[in-house]
Amino acid sequence: MLRIIARLDIKNGKVIKGIQLEGQRQIGDPIEIARKYYEDGIDEILIMDSVASLYGRSNLFHLVAEACKTVFVPITIGGGIRSLEDVKDALSFGADKVAINTALVHDIDLLKVLVTTYGSQCIVGSIEAKKTGNGWQAYIDNGREPTGKDVIEWAKTLEQNGVGELLVTSVDKEGMQKGFDLPLYEALDKAVSIPIIASGGAGRVSHLKDLEQKTELQGIAIAAILHYAKCTVQEVKNELQRTTTRRKYVHAGDT
């Protein structure tokens, strides 16, 4: 199954869209946008705090709680998740999964604690990838700071230490709307067995079809193609072979 995921990057309480994780064209209210995509048939919502690195902590918990009132698909929150307490807060406010990048780069042992405490199913390893020579290097801080880690090897390490899935953003392709970094996702597809979500590059439906046909990835996160009304969620699903009808869902934090 191929999940179609709407990516909402948040700054100052608004959905924004940049290019290569930079820039800040304002799109609109995140609750309204999330609700629209949910009503259109999106499989999941990914909410990323684009300025969390400035504050050292996510400011999205209350936004997620509000979204959960009307959006009944899995919601992943990312950006500024740095500790066991942050994960506890995110899940208690209604997030179903947390995407973590910087904290795992700095302390892989944190991953083991999180997996032991909450299980692999809600821990997403987030990787920001940039092309370097014959491979790709992992970055943090919205693609600004190199880690020195090879993306493929880092993905293997995250899998070995228990993440449930990977969110891999191609910084080079993000916001360009010219297609995905197919060699990157083909290499990752061969290297790990856990689910991979591709993010960065979709400008038209044919870009998603190319990725679907050339990999066995289980998720595609899209933003500009929806934000700029280039197509609808249903039009995307109609063109792809491995998508499916959404099932009724209850959030982890709901009672």
Both tokens assigned to 219: 């998720």
b vs e for 186-223, b when ≥16 Cβ sit within 10 Å of the residue's Cβ? bbbbeebebbbbbbbbbbebebbeebbeebebbbbbbb
pLDDT digits (tens, 9 = 90+) for 202-213: 999 999 999 999
pLDDT score of 118 more than 80: yes
Q: Find out whether 42 and 73 touch, Cβ atoms under 8 Å.
A: yes
What CA–CA distance (Å, rounded) separates 36 from 46? 14
Query: Of 16-25, 72-81, 117-126, 177-186, where does mean pLDDT reach its minimum?
Result: 16-25
What CA–CA distance (Å, rounded) separates 26 from 40? 21
pLDDT score of 110 more than 60: yes
Rounded to an integer, the average pLDDT of 234-238 is 94
Rounded to an integer, the average pLDDT of 63-74 is 96
What pLDDT shows up at residue 54? 58
What pLDDT shows up at residue 143? 86
pLDDT score of 192 more than 60: yes
- Confidence band (pLDDT; 50, 70, 90) for 62? very high
What pLDDT shows up at residue 155? 99
Residues annotated as catalytic are 9, 128
b vs e for 79-89, b when ≥16 Cβ sit within 10 Å of the residue's Cβ? bbbbeeebbeb
- Confidence band (pLDDT; 50, 70, 90) for 52? confident
What pLDDT shows up at residue 245? 72
- Confidence band (pLDDT; 50, 70, 90) for 255? very low
What CA–CA distance (Å, rounded) separates 245 from 46? 19
What pLDDT shows up at residue 42? 97
What CA–CA distance (Å, rounded) separates 153 from 151? 6
Rounded to an integer, the average pLDDT of 28-39 is 97
pLDDT score of 248 more than 60: no
pLDDT score of 111 more than 70: yes
SS3 assignment for the chain = CCEEEEEEEEECCEEEEEECCEEEEEEECHHHHHHHHHHHCCCEEEEEECCHHHHCCCCCHHHHHHHCCCCCCCEEEECCCCCHHHHHHHHHCCCCEEEECHHHHHCHHHHHHHHHHHCHHHEEEEEEEEEECCEEEEEECCCCEEEEEEHHHHHHHHHHCCCCEEEEEECCCCCCCCCCCHHHHHHHHHHCCCCEEEECCCCCHHHHHHHHHHCCCCEEEECHHHHCCCCCHHHHHHHCCCCCCCCCCCCCCCC
pLDDT score of 56 more than 60: no
pLDDT score of 127 more than 80: yes
What pLDDT shows up at residue 63? 95
Rounded to an integer, the average pLDDT of 22-51 is 92
Which comes out higher in pLDDT, residue 57 or 153? Answer: 153
Backbone angles phi, psi at 128, to 5 degrees: -100, 115
Which comes out higher in pLDDT, residue 53 or 66? Answer: 66
Q: What is the mean pLDDT of the chain?
A: 93
The CATH number given to 3-239 is 3.20.20.70
